[in-house]
Structure formats: C-alpha cells, structure tokens
Amino acid sequence: MTTAPAKPVRTRFAPSPTGYLHLGGARTALYSWAYARHFGGTFVLRIEDTDLERSTPEAVQAIIEGMEWLGLSHDEGPFYQMQRMDRYREVVAQMLEAGTAYHCYSSQEEVEAMRERMRVAGEKPRYDGTWRPEPGKTLPAIPADRKPVVRFKNPLDGEVSWDDFVKGTITIGNKELDDLVIARPDGTPTYNFCVAVDDWDMEISHVLRGDDHVNNTPRQINILRAIGAPLPLYGHLPMILGADGQKMSKRKDAVNVMDYPAQGYLPEAILNYLARLGWSHGDDEVFSMEQVCSWFDGTHLSNSAAQFNIEKLNWLNNHYIKQADDERLASLAQPRMLAAGAVFDGAPALPAVLALMKERVNTVNELADAAMLFYRAPQPDAALMAQHLTDAVKPALAQFAGRCATVAWTKEALAAMIKEVLAANTLKMPQMAMPLRLIVTGQLQTPAIDAVLQIFGRETIVARLAKFL
C-alpha cells in the first residue's frame, strides 16, 4: 500500500478491557493512530467489553490512561460495545429476515457430539448444518422449550481472500469456516459479529491488529459481505516476543505499558521503541511522532515477530532524557526523591542538578537516585575518609577552603582555583578531588567536582568543609 487510499482513512483501536494496556496493544494503537494521522484521517477508540466475566471498568480506565500517557489521542469514541446491543440485535434480525442467518436449535450436547463424530472421521470439526435452511430442504421439528442460537449462513464454497498489508495475500477456503453463532440463546451477540457490525457502522477503512486475529478475519469478511458492508483493508501485525524469544508474559516481561512510567521511562522513548518494533524507515532508529506520522503509510511493516530488547529501549530512553526539559524531569523525579527522604529546602535547584547528571542514566528513576546526593546530609564512611583525607592533603584542602570565601563561584573559576592549589602543594587531582567529594557528598562517585561544588553553592561547601578541617 504505497498510494494514498481512495476513501477517507478511519482506523480504530479496539481493546478488550480485561487487564491493562499491553505493550503489543500499544503498538497496534500507535500504528493505527499514525496511519490515520498520516492520511489526515480519523482514529476511533472502541472498547470491546462484551465478555462480561473478564471486562472491568478498571481495565477500561487503565487502557485510557495508558493511551493518554502515550499521547495517542482518539478522534472518536470511546464507543462501548455493551452500549450497542440494540444495534447488534437489529442487524441479527435483519440477517434472519434476509436469510443470511438462521435459527439453530441444536443443543450444546448435539453440537459437541457432531464435532466429535467429525474429529473421529478425521474431518475438521464444525457445525453440520442440521438447521441450515436450503431450497427444498425440510428442517427438523422445532424442539419444545429450547431457545435457538442464531447462526451465520457462511458460504459453502469458494474462498475468502484479502491482501493483508503486512502479510501479503491470505486465502482461506469457506469449507474451513463454520456457520458461526452470531447470537446466543439469550440474544446476546458474539464477538466476531460485533466486530463486523462495528467496523461497518464506524466506517473503518483500515484494520490494523495483532496476527492472533488472522483466523477471525475471513469470518468477519463473510459477515461484512452478507450485510452489504464495504470491506476494510486488513493488516495483521506479528506479535512481540519477550527478550528470550518466547511469548511475552507478565511473569517475566514488563508487558503493562503503565509499568514503564513507574520505572522511569518517558513516553516518547516507548513510542519510538514501539514504532521501530515492526516498522522501519530506512536505517533510522530515533524519530519523533511527527516524523512517524509523516512517514507511516502502511509500507515497511515487518512480517516477522519482533523481539523485545531492553538495552535498545534504555538507549532510547537515555536519548530522550538527555533531550528532555529539565523542569519536566524534575517534576518526574521529585516524588521518588521525596519518598527517599530528599530535603529540598536550602538545596540546589533540582532542574540544574538533573541537567548535570542526566547524560549517563537510562531512566528517570536512576536519575532521581543519582541526584539524591544533593539532597541529603552527607555521611561519609569513616574508614574511607581516613584513607583519603590524609595529612598530606589536609593543608591543601584548608587552602582550598580558605579561598572558597572569595573565589568567583563559577565552574571555571573553581576549576582554576583547584589547579592552583594542587600545583602549590604538588598534588594530583584525585588526591584532592576524592576527599572533597567525600566531604561534600559523602560518596566517591559524583559528576565533575567543579560542577558539583558550583551547584551546591558557596555557603554549603564552606560549611561542609569546616566540619572536617
């Protein structure tokens, strides 16, 4: 699909609210969204909540929150299938009327028995058509007290074929397909039927979804044909495998999108990562969502399963952290730091600290943890202190402390002053930098000492030095 589609592009994301927004679902949503944006179309959110046992309002909320966090805004919806029951019933009635569906009075047990017979005979188990009306056929007597299901009158011959824009042409023989139950004895419609009616009513032009739905597509196409609906184009995305090459599972993989903000990932990193996981634009690895929308035309979608790679996600997250506004990073890091006991009163401004420390971190959580050194009283280990604060170094540090009172408080001036003190005392940089770090921060690993000193400010440095000299 390289050319612009003829009809207005309308895509949808149609999650079943049975848990949380899954990484694979988020990628489907992203691709559907980007495709609609690319063609100036409409992106619809539809909640497929007809499985009453597994659907929950919390899960709906979790999906909507996840989409919002990612910034995948929908133009229409959310539409809830449970609120469309009248419409499904109406279409079932129309199909019964038109003869494209029929009442079937076979009991569950009878259907099971016919399936078993076929299995034994080495055939594909399916409904045997007992109640399927055909010209000249006499149907059995309607059993008393039994409520019928409604079955779709699937074509008996021929095949269903579609040009999947991820997988190429897929063809399934109608003989492979059952006369699907579209309404249960209590009148409630079934899954594939609802999807077909919705895609019709919502005028969906392109369906992008996981390839676990490939088997549903021929059934939905047949129903759409039977109700006289235009067919959308379909693209089925291969699944995302875990880092171990196996199916992702919540036991071993972070599959819930909303686990990522909690772990300190930025939405732009997740989006970039997901965009590239199954789609490519040349050799590009880093792209904004504006670029994705301008490039995402349904081509260059990968037909093989993608494998989750946390190193790559971390690399992207580091990239976006480096790019991120420091005020924004501060608002993300602060709650975690407060929980860890950070004291912000009288301490350096958090955005400046984060700017200094963000080069090498993979997550905002790592950044918050690293920044803690500016927000808690230093408690240098006594043994380490004895090791680094030697008699040879003390006079130099005393000089340094003395000059702190008057030196211009810039990184450059502080660096120059340290150099002069080192030269005057014939010391090497680490000999002074290590005890200085310990005294000022309580730890040996810090960003460049001149930058650390500068950010703490004259008063704090002078006070902390005074305790040891």
Interface residue list for ligand GLU (CB under 6 A): 14-16, 48, 195, 209, 213
The nearer residue to ligand GLU, 207 or 465, going by C-beta atoms, is 207
The nearer residue to ligand GLU, 48 or 366, going by C-beta atoms, is 48
Cα separation, 139 vs 143, in Å, equals 11
- 3-state SS class at 183: strand
Cα separation, 217 vs 163, in Å, equals 12
The nearer residue to ligand GLU, 15 or 129, going by C-beta atoms, is 15
The nearer residue to ligand GLU, 198 or 268, going by C-beta atoms, is 198
Smallest distance, ligand GLU to C-beta of residue 218, A: 13
Backbone φ and ψ of 173, nearest 5°:
-75, 140
Smallest distance, ligand GLU to C-beta of residue 335, A: 32
Smallest distance, ligand GLU to C-beta of residue 206, A: 11
Cα separation, 126 vs 119, in Å, equals 9
Smallest distance, ligand GLU to C-beta of residue 198, A: 9
Which residue, among 168, 205, 209, 175, has the nearest Cα to 192 in the 3D structure?
209
The nearer residue to ligand GLU, 204 or 269, going by C-beta atoms, is 204
The nearer residue to ligand GLU, 63 or 275, going by C-beta atoms, is 63
The nearer residue to ligand GLU, 12 or 358, going by C-beta atoms, is 12
Smallest distance, ligand GLU to C-beta of residue 16, A: 4
Give residue number: closest CB to ligand GLU: 209
Longest CA span, the chain: 112
Q: Which residues pair with 235 in a beta bridge?
A: 208
Which burial class, exposed, middle or buried, applies to 391 when counting CB atoms under 10 A from its CB (0-12, 13-18, 19+)? exposed
Which residue, among 426, 433, 436, has the nearest Cα to 392 in the 3D structure?
426
The nearer residue to ligand GLU, 193 or 265, going by C-beta atoms, is 193
DSSP output for 402-457: HHHTTS--SHHHHHHHHHHHHHHTT--HHHHHHHHHHHHHSSS--S-HHHHHHHH-
Smallest distance, ligand GLU to C-beta of residue 309, A: 24
Smallest distance, ligand GLU to C-beta of residue 76, A: 16
DSSP output for 268-307: HHHHHHHHHSSB-STT-----HHHHHHH-SS-SB-SS-EE
Amino acid, single-letter form, for residue 338: L
The nearer residue to ligand GLU, 192 or 441, going by C-beta atoms, is 192
Cα separation, 209 vs 234, in Å, equals 8
Smallest distance, ligand GLU to C-beta of residue 263, A: 24
Smallest distance, ligand GLU to C-beta of residue 190, A: 13
Cα separation, 301 vs 238, in Å, equals 10
The nearer residue to ligand GLU, 15 or 380, going by C-beta atoms, is 15
Cα separation, 217 vs 369, in Å, equals 49
Measure Cα distances from 317 to 310, 320, 327, 343, 455 in Å: 10, 5, 17, 27, 25
Smallest distance, ligand GLU to C-beta of residue 14, A: 4
The nearer residue to ligand GLU, 48 or 179, going by C-beta atoms, is 48
Cα separation, 397 vs 393, in Å, equals 6
Cα separation, 171 vs 2, in Å, equals 22
Cα separation, 155 vs 100, in Å, equals 9
Smallest distance, ligand GLU to C-beta of residue 24, A: 9
